[in-house]
Amino acid sequence: MNLKKISVKLSWMLRHCQSPLYIDLNGGWADADVIIKALQERFPDFNRETFELIVAQDEKGRYSFDETGARIRANQGHSIPSVVIEMESPEPPEFLYHGTTYRFLDSIMKEGLKPMTRQFVHISPDYETAVKVGSRHGKPVILKIRARDFKNDSNELYRSSNGVWQAKYVAPEYFTIC
């Protein structure tokens, strides 16, 4: 059983799939048993134990179970516009980071950081994480965001349960290239 393939499918189901819509739009929760059954159609040996293993071992902390373990959700990255995920809005550190690649840099420097097909721009809590994110698509370039200034200027900045910071948009005036 290829756990990586299953994890990719799980991520898609909880963040992007609209037909059938597995998730409740209010909170993004999905019934864990329904998700397991749907994954078993493609991966017949898949079971609850493997499901919990994938969630526990996900290095990015993409998923959360509710307190009973009966429901699961993706912590961020939804492309379905009406999904509302509860996030906190604590005081941010002075700086946060965004990893990207050079091929996107010109437009980012002109137009700012946009969520593109997602609801939010994902922002890393530290430089090292931003490097990993940027490296997924080529040679990384890291943007240093003045997070405290951004929030103090009445911009909304959230943190998901796995520590990823998020904003609807970050104007170029708030970041520099590291």
Residue 58 lies in a domain: yes
Q: Within this chain, do residues 65 and 11 fall inside the same structural domain, yes or no?
A: yes
Q: Within this chain, do residues 120 and 62 fall inside the same structural domain, yes or no?
A: no
* Secondary structure of the chain in HEC code, one letter for each residue: CCHHHHHHHHHHHHHCCCCCCCECCECCCEEHHHHHHHHHHHCCCCCHHHHHHHHHHCCCCCEEECCCCCEEEECCCCCCCCCECCCECCCCCCEEEEEEEHHHHHHHHHHCECCCCCCCEEEECCHHHHHHHHHCCCCEEEEEEEHHHHHHCCCCCEECCCCCEEECCECHHHEEEC
- Per-residue pLDDT at 81: 83
Residue 89 lies in a domain: no
Q: Within this chain, do residues 65 and 24 fall inside the same structural domain, yes or no?
A: yes
Residue 85 lies in a domain: no
pLDDT in tens, 50-64: 999 999 999 889 999
Q: Within this chain, do residues 128 and 169 fall inside the same structural domain, yes or no?
A: yes
Q: CB of 160 within 8 A of CB of 63?
A: no
Mean pLDDT in the chain? 95
pLDDT in tens, 10-24: 999 999 999 999 999
Say what percent of the chain tops pLDDT 70: 100
Q: What is the CATH number of the domain that holds 35?
A: 1.10.10.970
Q: Within this chain, do residues 69 and 105 fall inside the same structural domain, yes or no?
A: no
Residue 129 — pLDDT band, cuts 50, 70, 90? very high
Q: Within this chain, do residues 99 and 166 fall inside the same structural domain, yes or no?
A: yes
- Per-residue pLDDT at 141: 98
Q: Within this chain, do residues 106 and 52 fall inside the same structural domain, yes or no?
A: no
pTM exceeds 0.75 for this model: yes
Q: Within this chain, do residues 101 and 70 fall inside the same structural domain, yes or no?
A: no
Please state, as a whole number, how many other Cβ atoms lie within 10 Å of the Cβ of residue 13.
20
Residue with tokens 């990015």: 60
- Per-residue pLDDT at 134: 96
